[in-house]
Chains A and B, each alone.
Chain A
Amino acid sequence: MSSTKHTLVALVEDKPGVLNRIASLFRRRAFNIQSLAVGGSEHHGLSRMTIVVVGDSAQVEQVRKQLDKLINVVKVSDITEEEMVARELALIKVKATASTRSEIMQIVDIFRANIVDVAPGSLTVEVTGDADKLDSLLGLLRDFGVREVSRTGRIALTRGSS
């Protein structure tokens, strides 16, 4: 079976140690997390977690079932095959001089990204999108000298009413 990227979305109880339980499970079962993002959900006391894992479907199904066994995990689904909206956010601090600043700003515009901080020697760019878009922008900005990058990892929801 072929290894592909899977997106798992989990609704988890917002309690101390939950992240540790999930991380521990991935380590213990030798599953690799490519990214993990967690934050509030529409339910009080529950967080939504988006986990990107690489593996064949049997492995990922095993991950999903093991996650589902955790008492603090209320629901977990593999939404890879579903219609979904997936986004990632990155903050990129790029070197900028008087001569390069406008060129950088043009690139940022094309990507519908934002400049969120301007300093004498640098610009900080905020960009949202899928991983490919972030990678392309990052690729272009590397020519100017990227000083720091911080990416959130993917967050995702299925499309439509469900």
Chain B
Amino acid sequence: MKKTGAQILCESLVKEGVEVIFGILGGAVLPIYDTFPQYPRLRHILVRHEQGAAHAADGYARVTHKAGVCIATSGPGATNLVTGIANAYMDSAPLVAITGQVATPVIGKDAFQETDITGITIPIVKHNYLVTDVAELAKTVKEAFHIAQTGRPGPVLIDIPRDVQQEQTDFVYPDKLDLPGYRVISRGHPAQIKKAAKLINESEQPVILAGRGIIISQAYDEFKEFAEKAQLPVAHTLLGLGSFPGDHILDLGMLGMHGTGCANMAVQNADLLIAVGMRFDDRATGNTREFAPNARVIHIDIDPAEIGKNITTEVPVVGDIRSVLTALNKEIERKEHVDWLSQIEQWRYEHPALEIRQSDELLPQYIVNQIYEATRGDALVVTGVGQNQMWAARYFVYTKPNSLISGGGLGPMGFELPAAIGVKVGCPEEVVWCVAGDGGFQMTIQELATITQENIAVKIAIMNNGYLGMVRQWQELFYGRRYVDTKLWNPDFVKIAEAYDIPGVRVKRREEVIPAIQRAMDYPGAFLIDFLIEPEENIYPIVPPGESLARFFEPSKPEVLEDILGTNYKMPKKSKTKFQ
């Protein structure tokens, strides 16, 4: 029996095991939407902006380990997906983005709502397709899911002209793939694994740099065995948090610009770095010339192009993390590293990671830490970008695998709310906390409607400091405290939530924090807390841009910043004006 392109798309999605699609419709996807009622298995979640669809699908993908699917119409619908696609690309999240396109006879004629979305997205997708023949559609969908979900995952876009959605052909879902240019190296080369093991066995001061690759590969057990067997301390990239228990004695927390003093000291003094599923992002390494000056480097990653891209590597091992670690665990020797670990304990003592300054103000660090206490770490935390993200990364202890979901590479403000929707839809049994900034929250605030319409029980904590906080912090530290256009007039977020039929509460004082969090947790549906935090609270330590990780600044050591910024620098006196 012949089927239309739209039916073939839906059939193929069902074959790929898709259960949820995030999208918003428009003229060029009407034939697809018209077909949805025939496929009740495909749950469509109507978002309010295509960026929300892409971020939601991304969040869904990260927690379910299968491709998230989003759909948008041609032209502006497609271009609105771009931020979300770029984010999935940077963070290696499997995403299949489906866009409608104008009908094939008018492609290239600048038709209404025509945009060359395949051209636009080339640099931010793993692959993309413009399907001009309905006979190619099933094969294309199969390839798209395969490419998105295997190897180093990433976004794949399928652009389907409206007439192709309507044309008919026999539906045959191919069994086999024909992708001669696509190879995934899953098993590490045995000789490289032996070399890596030798370096590890010889090392006196090793540090692991744990990245999101461990989470993607779901290699939690293998990784834990690896770290424990040779007593290898673990520093995380932002997206590597949640790959290893944050309360483990070997855990150093996050490295990098806002990393813990302990992690950065360990990395800078290491004689061996074992990079596992990470890509030496500049926020993690600081100045690469001064990065870990005495360390030899082992780099384990599934993407050969990551080897040597940012850091010269002595022993690369290309392969799937789980497979490589399984092999490596057999080769490495049990070690104690007593001296090294006691040195690390000294740094941990000197730079306590969870320390919160004494203050009567409402401090965001305290709030995040109380969310951790209230959930006992048994929650998925979805963050925005900026200070809220760093506080969430630093003051929540990620003991649960894959429990931090954040736009790490691209850093898109507005990721938090739609991504939290995707995370909750993917893991309905989990408690999902969305930690937002007051700036970023307003970039995708419209998704509150999606939350209510679809009854998605996410808990929203706005770290409301009335500023674009991270930018303000940079202005404070690096631009002479000239707060140019970072001060925000904000609406009443509790009233806004109320207008969307979401209960909320405003918290101004420290003693209100725990009851508010408890109220949010006890409420069966979505709940919003607007935390009016100390407006000029900073995230510390900070490695100033371009500096070595060893030169992190923390308030107890103002001389570090004075040294970097010149003797004229004075620690600003904190404003005592309360947020109105």
Give B84-128 interface residues, CB cut-off 8 Å to A. Answer: 118-119, 122-123, 126-127
Residues of A within 8 A of B (CB): 12-13, 16-17, 20-21, 24-25, 28, 58, 61-62, 65-66, 68-75
Q: Are B181 and A20 in contact (CB under 8 A)?
A: no
Of B126, B181, B312, the residue contacting A73 (CB under 8 A) is B181
Size bin of chain B's contact surface: 10 to 19
Interface string of B415-456 (1 = CB under 8 A from A): 000000000000000000000000000000000000000000
Task: Tell me whether B1 is interfacial, beta carbon within 8 Å.
Answer: no
- Nearest opposing residue in chain B for A16, CB measure: B130
Q: Are A72 and B118 in contact (CB under 8 A)?
A: no
Of A24, A25, A74, the residue contacting B181 (CB under 8 A) is A74
| Cα separation A57 to B447 with both chains bound (whole Å) | 48
Residues of B contacting A12 with CB < 8 Å?
181
| Cα separation A63 to B163 with both chains bound (whole Å) | 38
- Given the interface pairs A66-B305, A69-B305, A71-B147, the reply to whether A17 lies near B181 with Cβ below 8 Å is no
Q: Taking chain A's interface residues, is the majority helix, strand, or loop, or is none over half, making it mixed?
A: helix
Q: Are B122 and A65 in contact (CB under 8 A)?
A: no
Q: How distant is B154 from chain A, measured CB to nearest CB, in Å? A: 10
| Cα separation A65 to B313 with both chains bound (whole Å) | 15
Q: Are B122 and A71 in contact (CB under 8 A)?
A: no
Residues of A contacting B312 with CB < 8 Å?
58
Give B467-490 interface residues, CB cut-off 8 Å to A. Answer: none
Q: Are A72 and B309 in contact (CB under 8 A)?
A: no
Give B108-159 interface residues, CB cut-off 8 Å to A. Answer: 118-119, 122-123, 126-127, 130, 147
Task: Tell me whether B304 is interfacial, beta carbon within 8 Å.
Answer: yes
| Cα separation A130 to B145 with both chains bound (whole Å) | 45
- Nearest opposing residue in chain B for A63, CB measure: B305
Q: Report which residue of B181, B304, B312 has the largest number of chain A beta carbons within 10 angstroms of its beta carbon.
A: B181
Q: How distant is B132 from chain A, measured CB to nearest CB, in Å? A: 9
Residues of A contacting B179 with CB < 8 Å?
71
Interface string of B178-189 (1 = CB under 8 A from A): 011110000000
Of A17, A24, A28, A68, the residue contacting B304 (CB under 8 A) is A68
Rank and list the top 7 A-B pairs by shortest CB-CB distance, nearest first.
A65-B305, A74-B181, A71-B127, A24-B122, A28-B123, A74-B180, A71-B182
Q: How distant is B519 from chain A, measured CB to nearest CB, in Å? A: 48
Q: Report which residue of A12, A66, A71, A74 has the largest number of chain B beta carbons within 10 angstroms of its beta carbon.
A: A71
Q: How distant is B571 from chain A, measured CB to nearest CB, in Å? A: 39
Residues of A contacting B130 with CB < 8 Å?
16-17
- Nearest opposing residue in chain A for B179, CB measure: A71
| Cα separation A61 to B316 with both chains bound (whole Å) | 14
| Cα separation A152 to B126 with both chains bound (whole Å) | 31
Q: Are A69 and B303 in contact (CB under 8 A)?
A: yes
Residues of A contacting B147 with CB < 8 Å?
71
Q: How distant is B90 from chain A, measured CB to nearest CB, in Å? A: 13
Q: Are B182 and A17 in contact (CB under 8 A)?
A: no
25 A-B residue contacts at CB 8 Å?
A12-B181, A13-B180, A13-B181, A16-B130, A17-B119, A17-B130, A21-B122, A24-B122, A25-B123, A58-B308, A61-B308, A62-B305, A62-B308, A65-B305, A65-B307, A68-B304, A69-B303, A69-B305, A71-B127, A71-B147, A71-B179, A71-B181, A72-B181, A73-B181, A74-B181
Residues of A contacting B123 with CB < 8 Å?
24-25, 28
Q: Are A17 and B180 in contact (CB under 8 A)?
A: no
Q: How distant is B508 from chain A, measured CB to nearest CB, in Å? A: 47
- Nearest opposing residue in chain B for A64, CB measure: B305
Q: Are A17 and B308 in contact (CB under 8 A)?
A: no
Interface string of B295-337 (1 = CB under 8 A from A): 0000000011101110010000000000000000000000000
16 extra interchain contacts, Cβ-Cβ under 8 A, other than A13-B181, A17-B118, A66-B305?
A: A13-B180, A17-B119, A17-B122, A20-B119, A20-B122, A25-B123, A28-B123, A58-B312, A62-B305, A62-B309, A65-B304, A65-B305, A68-B304, A68-B305, A70-B181, A71-B182
- Nearest opposing residue in chain A for B180, CB measure: A74
Q: Report which residue of B123, B126, B307 has the largest number of chain A beta carbons within 10 angstroms of its beta carbon.
A: B123
- Nearest opposing residue in chain B for A22, CB measure: B122
Q: How distant is B160 from chain A, measured CB to nearest CB, in Å? A: 15
Residues of A contacting B305 with CB < 8 Å?
62, 65-66, 68-69
Residues of A contacting B308 with CB < 8 Å?
58, 61-62
| Cα separation A70 to B305 with both chains bound (whole Å) | 11
Q: How distant is A55 from chain B, measured CB to nearest CB, in Å? A: 13
